[in-house]
Amino acid sequence: MHLRSGVCLVAMAILAGVHGAAMGEEPPTVPYRRTTIRIDGDLGDWAEPFVTIDLREPEPAPDPNTVRVHLAWDREWLYTAFDVTDGRLVPPPDGVHPAGLYQGDSVELYVDGRGNRSAMMDADDFQFLVACDGRSATLQGDPILARLKILEVPKVERPSPGIRSAVRIRNGGYTVEMAVPLASILAGRSPHRAVIAYDVAVNDWDRRHPAVGDVTLDDLIEAARSELRGEEVPGEEGPDPFEKARTLGYLPWSLCNGRDFGHPATWRLATLSGSPPWPERLTDRFGVARTIGAAVLATAVAWLALLTLQEIRHRRRVRALLERLEPRPAPGAVRAPETPSSTGTDAIRDPVVRKAVALVREQLGEPLGPGELATAVHVSLRTLQRALDRELHCTPRELIVGSKMRAAREMLASGEYRVNEVATRVGFADPAHFSRRYKAYFGESPSRAIPGRS
């Protein structure tokens, strides 16, 4: 590209303030891993599942190189490892700008976070470049250059979005590990089943060389300023930088487009398969504080629902017990004097149950618990529980409460006692608590049971 050819377009962008095909293969999956990979250049901890890509130089070369690439992800990072076989390592020249690190043996990872594979690099396309000497750079598609078509590969250098990388030189080559923050490339999307597009590339040089001059965005902007000032902007002279680099022993190659890369339309699709455990997914989506708050609230609601269901079951069993202990007379019938048969207990065959029923009635106003009741009838609590369940289908606690409610209803129906007096006589220190329990079992307040109060 000649320098002058883009000057006017850049000038228009500055003045206006503009910011701005499938391969026919099944997209591979990049697996999720539960443990973090240490970024130190050592591939020994790549033990869990990962996808592997093997590459060779696409054209015959005197000293052909190979590279094996691993890809995996966890809830925070997209991991990439390059194991490069290269018998002659050439680092980038000293003083070269970060975007020019391709001028030495290096590897590149291209990622399209949205997987839309546009014709030219745009804001969701990234290039991560790591040289064999450890220097690195991050470039991102630029919307201004993409719309104005100033460069064939419209990208600019960006501050590293938290990328981590490490290089280790080994005999006959080098290894590179990268960890790219998923949040920076997915733009807030959930990584679960996310589809991305990617390419991996290798820059191979045969010998050391001086830095090759590239046309940078700063060059274009400076040329645009000169154009606006009315100064003459000389055209770019000399051979194309890429062709000049080829004459110096530069052999680039990539997975998707041979020796020409940086074109999203040719990148391969991949799906981030697997997912973190559901608590981690909730935390990622709603944040730690909200997730903990929701968990506490859900637990509290569950316990409240369980307690409510238990209380409802208890009340139903006590009401059924009251029916068995004292069958209600038919509507309009005259209440007969209490006799052993009218209490509903004459059919009780178990002597332990008979003793328990009689004892509870005798001690209505006393604090009596299931353990104390079992001791009073000279049996273990478990024996009492089995006997009551067999005869009356109730627990000791339900027998105690049911007997108190039955006696309270009889005293209220006599009209001789006020509500607070009845509450005391059946062992309730708080009349309000007694009134709530009474209404729960009989469906009406105790005051309505007093003759003349309904």
Do 41 and 58 share a domain, yes or no? yes
Contact 173, 84 (CB under 8 A): yes
**What CATH number does the domain containing 356 carry?**
1.10.10.60
Q: Residue 293's pLDDT is what?
A: 81
- On whether residue 73 sits in a domain, the answer given is yes
- On whether residue 104 sits in a domain, the answer given is yes
Residue 12: what are its φ and ψ, rounded to 5°? -60, -40
Do 82 and 134 share a domain, yes or no? yes
Where in 263-376 does DSSP place strands (E)?
Answer: 268-272
**What CATH number does the domain containing 209 carry?**
2.60.40.1190
Do 324 and 350 share a domain, yes or no? yes
Residue-by-residue DSSP string for 43-79: GGG--S--EEEEEE-SS--SS--EEEEEEEE-SSEEE
Instruction: Using alpha carbons, list the distances in angstroms from residue 410 to 277, 402, 425.
Output: 59, 12, 12
Q: What is the pLDDT along the chain (454 residues), one digit of tens a residue?
A: 333 334 333 333 333 333 333 334 556 799 998 888 999 999 998 987 889 999 887 766 666 789 999 999 998 899 999 999 998 999 999 989 888 899 999 999 999 999 999 888 888 999 999 999 999 999 998 877 766 666 677 788 888 778 999 999 999 999 999 999 999 999 878 888 899 999 999 999 988 888 887 655 565 555 555 555 666 545 445 556 667 777 888 889 899 887 778 889 999 999 998 876 667 666 766 767 777 888 888 888 989 888 888 878 777 777 777 666 664 443 443 443 443 333 455 567 889 998 998 899 888 888 889 999 999 999 999 999 999 988 888 899 989 988 898 899 899 999 899 999 999 999 998 999 999 888 888 888 898 888 876 5
Do 306 and 277 share a domain, yes or no? no
Do 263 and 313 share a domain, yes or no? no
Compute the distance between CA of residue 223 and CA of residue 130 in angstroms, rounded to an integer: 30
Instruction: Using alpha carbons, list the distances in angstroms from residue 433 to 310, 385, 419, 427, 430.
Output: 19, 26, 11, 11, 5
- On whether residue 321 sits in a domain, the answer given is yes
Do 131 and 162 share a domain, yes or no? yes
Do 198 and 295 share a domain, yes or no? no
State the pairing for strand pair 268-272/29-30. parallel
Q: Residue 224's pLDDT is what?
A: 52
- On whether residue 178 sits in a domain, the answer given is yes
Do 130 and 187 share a domain, yes or no? yes
Do 211 and 350 share a domain, yes or no? no
- On whether residue 334 sits in a domain, the answer given is no
Q: Which of 204, 212, 219 is nearest to 96 (CA)?
A: 212
Residue 422: what are its φ and ψ, rounded to 5°? -65, -40
Amino acid at 422: V
- On whether residue 113 sits in a domain, the answer given is yes
Max Cα-Cα span within the chain: 123
Q: Which of 354, 339, 340, 441 is nearest to 392 (CA)?
A: 354
Residue 41: what are its φ and ψ, rounded to 5°? 85, -5
Strand partners, 405: none
Do 102 and 251 share a domain, yes or no? yes
3-state secondary structure of 177: strand
- On whether residue 454 sits in a domain, the answer given is no
Do 425 and 399 share a domain, yes or no? yes
Question: What is the domain extent for residue 428?
Answer: 290-329+339-449
Compute the distance between CA of residue 258 and CA of residue 156 in angstroms, rounded to an integer: 22
CA angle 21, 22, 28 (to 5 degrees): 145
Number of alpha carbons in the 13 Å side-chain half-sphere of residue 272:
30
Do 274 and 321 share a domain, yes or no? no
Compute the distance between CA of residue 407 and CA of residue 443 in angstroms, rounded to an integer: 16
- On whether residue 56 sits in a domain, the answer given is yes
End-to-end CA distance of the chain: 100
Contact 151, 214 (CB under 8 A): no
The number of distinct structural domains making up the chain is: 2
Q: Residue 9's pLDDT is what?
A: 34
Q: Which of 145, 146, 150, 121 is nearest to 5 (CA)?
A: 150
Residue-by-residue DSSP string for 397-438: HHHHHHHHHHHHHHHHHHT-S-HHHHHHHTT-S-HHHHHHHH
